[in-house]
Amino acid sequence: MPGQPQAAPVKGFFTDTTLCIGCKACEVACKQWNQLPDDGFLFTGMSYDNTAHLGASTWRHVAFIERPAPLHPQNEGAFSWLFSSDVCKHCARAGCLEACPTGAIIRTEFGSVYVQPDVCNGCGYCIVSCPFGVIDRREEDGRAWKCTLCYDRLRADMQPACAKSCPTESIQFGNLEDLRKQARERVEKLHSQGMREAYLYGESAASQPGTEGLHAFFLLVDKPEVYNLPPDPIVPTKTVKDAWTAMAAGALGIALAALGAAFFAHKNGAQS
């Protein structure tokens, strides 16, 4: 309508894991820009992965994944690397947003999912409602934190810090529809080059109906579980209708059984 502000195009991330070199520049840039605390610099036992997973103080996490090298006599005992920079998925249907009782979690004009720290009461409902285990509470203040898609930078027409710092363009940022087209073309190119295992994870609602698609999706070359991603993530609220239907059917069955028992008891009593 005339006079109303135009909605911004939906923004998102396309992370091409085949281009990731594990440099962790995205992690560092994210922490620097958002002034996030360090993770303790502890030995995690996970190769070179010192941050281990996403959390309240780690909004970008680069996973170092070791896997057996392709079967060949020369590769016996060897392994190969997979690298992947994980982040909040800013789901098209976000479990954290739907579960938040205070309205602290909102959908921005860019389509991202944003936690307002001054409204969050630390209840934790969002944490158990995220199928990816992304959002978490910070011990110091009890409030929930996660990637904001660098909302402050977007409002200034700047790229998110992680995408800006990525030296190989593994992390690509832009209009979601453009990224989807670009990602499909990338998969086709890899297939033509012999990498038939390449595929897109979370690119659309059709490929991931449990969240109705992701605004931060990935190109993978192995099963999602290898990258610590769920194979079939489902927002908990999406199953509420089925749960209530099943409960109603169960209650109806119990009621019918009770009526049947009462009827036969009355019939037997009348005959005696």
Strand partners, 65: 82
Listed by start position, the domains of the chain span 11-234, 235-272
Residue-level pLDDT at 40:
65
* CATH topology (fold) of 11-234: Alpha-Beta Plaits (3.30.70)
Residue-level pLDDT at 245:
41
Neighbours of 82 (CB within 10 A): 18
Burial class (CB in 10 A: 0-12, 13-18, 19+), 23: middle
Residue-level pLDDT at 243:
42
Structure confidence by residue, pLDDT tens digits, 238-271: 875 554 444 445 555 565 666 766 556 656 665 6
Residue-level pLDDT at 68:
77
Residue-level pLDDT at 236:
92
Residue 109 dihedral angles phi and psi, to the nearest 5°? -65, -15
E-state strands within the chain: 11-16, 60-68, 79-87, 105-107, 113-115, 136-137, 144-145, 171-175, 199-201, 216-220
Query: What single DSSP character describes residue 110?
Result: T
Residue-level pLDDT at 70:
64
Query: What single DSSP character describes residue 73?
Result: G
Instruction: List all residues 6 or more positions away from 80 whose beta carbon is below 8 Å from its beta carbon.
Output: 66, 67, 68, 69, 70
Residues 78 and 62: their CA atoms lie apart, in Å, by: 22
Residues 216 and 201: their CA atoms lie apart, in Å, by: 9
Structure confidence by residue, pLDDT tens digits, 66-84: 887 765 556 566 778 899 9
Residue-level pLDDT at 2:
42
Considering only CA atoms, give the Rg of the chain.
24
AA identity, residue 183: A
31-to-160, 215, 221 alpha-carbon distances in Å: 12, 21, 28
pLDDT digits (tens), the chain, 272 positions: 444 445 678 999 999 999 999 999 999 999 999 999 887 666 666 667 778 789 999 999 999 988 877 655 565 667 788 999 999 999 999 999 999 999 999 999 999 999 999 999 999 999 999 999 999 999 889 999 999 999 999 999 999 999 999 999 999 999 999 999 999 999 999 999 999 999 999 999 998 999 999 999 999 999 999 999 999 999 998 875 554 444 445 555 565 666 766 556 656 665 65
Residue-level pLDDT at 193:
96
The three-point CA angle 219-221-226 to 5° equals 100
Residues 144 and 126: their CA atoms lie apart, in Å, by: 8
